[in-house]
Structure 1
Amino acid sequence: MHWIQNYNPFGNMLVSFVVACVPIIFFFWSLAVRKMKGYKAGLLTVLVAVLEAVIIYRMPVSLALESTIFGGLQGLWPIGWIIITAVFLYKLTVVSGKFNIIQSSIASITEDRRLQALLIAFSFGAFLEGTAGYGTPVAIAGALLAGLGFNPFYAAGLCLIANTAPVAFGGVGIPILTAGQVSGIDVHALSQMVGRQVPILSIFVPFWLVFIMAGWKKTIEVLPAILVCGVSFALTQFFTSNFLGPELPDVTSALVSMVALAVLLRFWQPKSVFRFKSEKEWNGRVSGAGITEQAAALSENQNRYSLLQITRAWSPFILLVAIICLWGASANIKDLLGKATMLIPIPGLHLAIEKIQPIVSLATPYPAIFKFDILAATGTAILLACVLSKFLIGISWKTWIQTFGDTLKELTFPLIMVVSVLGFAYIENYSGMSATLGLGLASTGSVFPFVSPIIGWLGVFLTGSDTSSNALFSNLQKVSAHQIGVDPTLLIAANSTGGVAAKMISPQSIAVATAATGQVGKEGSLFMFTIKHSLLLVAIIGIITLLQAYVFHWMIP
Structure 2
Amino acid sequence: MYTQLFDPVAHSIAASAAFAALPLLTLFVLLGVLRLPARWAALASLVVSMIVAAFVYGMPGAQVVSGALEGAAIGFFPIIWIGINAIWLFKLTQASGHADVLRRALAHVSPDQRVQAVLIAFCFGALLEALAGGGAPVAICAVLLISLGVEPLKAATVCLLADTSPVAFGALGLPITVLAKITRLPVHEISVMVGRQAPLLSLFIPLMLVFILDGRRGAKEVWPLAGVAGLAFAFAQFAGSMLLPVELVDIVAALFCAGASIAFLRVWTPGTLRTDLRTDLHPAHASTTRNAPAPLQGAALAMPMTGGPAFERANERPSARTSAQAGSAHLTRDSRAEVLRALAPYAAVILVVAATQIGFVAHAMGAITSSFAWPGLHVVGPNGATVSAVNAKFEWLLSAGSIVLIAGVLSVPLLRLDTRTAARTYLKNLHELRWAVFTVCCVVGVAYIMNLSGQIVTLGIWAARAGTAFAPVSPVLGWFATALTGSDTSANALFGMLQLTTAHHTGLSDILLTAANTSGGVVGKAISPQNLAVGAVAVGMIGREGVLFRRVAGWTVLMIAALSLLVWAQSTPLLGWMVP
Quick check: TM above 0.5? yes
Q: Does 1:381 align with 2:403?
A: yes
How far apart in 1 are the matches of 2:443 and 2:22? 15
Q: Within 2, Cα distance between the matches of 1:106 and 1:40?
A: 38
> Do structure 1's residue 353 and structure 2's residue 352 form an aligned pair?
no
Q: Distance in 2 between matches of 1:418 and 1:327?
A: 30
Contact 1:104 1:301 in 2 (8 A): no
1:14-63 Cα deviation digits (max 9, x unpaired): 21112111111111121122222221222122111111110111110011
Give the distance between the partners of 2:391 and 2:147, measured in 1 at CA.
39
Tell me, yes or no, if the aligned pair for 2:71 and 2:447 is still in contact at 8 Å.
Answer: yes
**Which deviates more from structure 2 when the two are superposed, residues 60-69 or residues 389-398?**
389-398
Query: Closer, same or farther in 2 for the Cα pair 1:555/1:115, shift >3 Å?
Result: same
Matches within 5 A, 1:75-90: 75-90=75-90
Provide the identity percentage: 37
Q: Which residue of 2 aligns with 1:221?
A: 221
Query: 1:76-97 CA distances to partner (integer Å, 9 max, x unpaired)?
Result: 2223322322222222222333
2:303 corresponds to which residue? none
Asked if the contact 1:206–1:226 (Cα under 8 Å) also holds between the matched residues in 2, the reply is yes
TM-score, normalised via structure 2 length? 0.87
> Could you say which residue in structure 2 is the equivalent of 1:475?
497
- 2:451 is the counterpart of 1:429: yes
CA contact (8 A) 2:121 2:142 kept: yes
Q: Which amino acid aligns with 1:481?
A: A
Aligned to 2:506: 484
Distance 2:114 2:557 in 1: 23
Show the 5 A alignment for 1:29-428: 29-275=29-275, 277-278=277-278, 290=319, 299-323=328-352, 325-326=353-354, 329-349=357-377, 352-356=378-382, 363-428=385-450
Residues 344 and 299 of structure 1, relative CA distance in 2, 3 Å threshold: farther
Q: Residue 112 of structure 2 contacts residue 324 of structure 2 at CA under 8 Å; is this kept in 1?
A: no
Which stretch of the first structure deviates more once superposed, 448-457 or 364-373? Answer: 364-373
Distance in 2 (alpha carbons) for counterparts of 1:484 and 1:280? 51
Q: CA deviation at 1:277?
A: 4.3
Report deviation, 1:527. Answer: 1.5
Q: Matches of 1:32 and 1:327 in 2, distance apart?
A: 43
Q: In 2, distance between residues paired with 1:117 and 1:57?
A: 48
Whole-angstrom distance in 2 between the partners of 1:119 and 1:396: 31
CA distance in 1, matches of 2:161, 2:367: 37
Q: Distance in 1 between matches of 2:110 and 2:432?
A: 31
Give the structure 1 partner of residue 576 of structure 2: 553
> What does residue 20 of structure 1 align with?
20
* CA drift at 1:296: 6.5
Output the CA distance in 2 between the equivalents of 1:43 and 1:192.
38
Deviation, structure 1 residue 108 = 0.4
Spell out, residue by residue over 1:475-527, the C-alpha distance to the aligned partner (whole angstroms, 9 max, x if none).
32233223333222212211111111111111122222223333221211112
Corresponding position of 1:285: none
1:221: how far off?
1.2
What stretches of structure 1 of length at least 5 have no aligned partner?
Answer: 283-287
Give, in angstroms, the shift of residue 111 of structure 1. Answer: 1.9
- The corresponding residue for 1:501 is 523
Question: Is the contact between residue 414 and residue 520 of structure 1 (CA under 8 Å) also seen in structure 2?
Answer: no
- Is the contact between residue 505 and residue 530 of structure 1 (CA under 8 Å) also seen in structure 2? yes
How far apart in 1 are the matches of 2:224 and 2:247? 29
Number of residue equivalences:
544
Contact kept? 1:355, 1:365, Cα under 8 Å: yes
**What is the aligned-residue RMSD (CA, Å)?**
2.5
Distance 1:294 1:85, change over 3 A: farther
* Change over 3 Å in CA distance of 1:83–1:169 after alignment to 2: closer
Once residues 295 and 84 of structure 1 are traced to their aligned partners in structure 2, the CA distance between those partners, rounded to angstroms, is 35
User: 2:326 & 2:372 partners in 1: Cα distance?
Assistant: 54
